[in-house]
Amino acid sequence: MIKINKGKEPLEWTAKCNTPNFTHYQPIPALRQALLVEQGYICAYCMRQIPVKDLSEKETSKIEHIKSRSDYPDLQLDYNNMLICCPGSIDGDSHCDKSKGHQSISFSLFVPQLQQSISYSSKDGTIKSSVPTIEDELNRLLNLNNRRLKANRLQVIEAIIAILDKKKWKKSECEQQLEVWKTKTVKQNEHEDKLGFKPYCGVVIYFLEKKLKQYA
């Protein structure tokens, strides 16, 4: 996970919410696009690149309410209660918003304290938190330690280790790589150029920041 810098809600969404009798959540394209740009086209929870099409899903992304609409109906139109997530189904195993369903998480992705509690294992890609309630929700609600997600995170860790091995683990190279993984870069496709984070960037950021502390 990475800290999400929440911006202002899109003007189109503000206008929609000010429409008379618009009291029940209905997404619009401008809302989805604003969330994608805000998060650099990665899932708020697992950090997979989005939009992505999972074989068992019809959607390429999901607008997620941190505090569920069923439990917090007064927040269903609140932009500050929304994230963008991947479809949430790999090999038939649900995770992220699809696993969370109508439940609510207690932690915020908008504050640095969350990242300070998060760690990743370089042995098997497991995500952990030093805060018991967050640790529980990472596993029970979001299922972020399913087999495929762990394998994907481990693959990214092994890739950055291979790069730094070639560079003899120089401090300057670690700093350079850290800047690359923290920065949105231009991604091109047949439709447009867009700024986005590298998938699973939070894993590499954690790994490199931990390594740089050893040079202090």
Q: Residue 17: which residues within 8 A CB-CB, separation 6 or more?
A: 77
27-36 burial, b if ≥16 CB within 10 A, otherwise e? eeebbbebbb
Q: Tell me: the pLDDT tens digits for 122-173?
A: 999 999 999 999 999 999 999 999 999 999 999 999 999 999 988 888 899 9
Contact 187, 102 (CB under 8 A): no
Query: Across all residues in the chain, what is the average pLDDT?
Result: 91
Interatomic CA distance for residues 28 and 38, integer angstroms: 16
Long-range contacts of 134-142 (CB under 8 A, 24+ apart): 134/106, 134/107, 137/105, 137/106, 137/107, 141/99, 141/100, 141/103, 141/105, 142/45, 142/46, 142/95, 142/96, 142/99, 142/100, 142/105
Confidence band of 53 (pLDDT split at 50, 70, 90) = confident
The phi, psi pair for 118, rounded to 5°, reads -95, 140
Contact 187, 101 (CB under 8 A): no
High-pLDDT (> 90) share of the chain, % = 76
**So what's the pLDDT on residue 52?**
82
Contact 104, 68 (CB under 8 A): yes
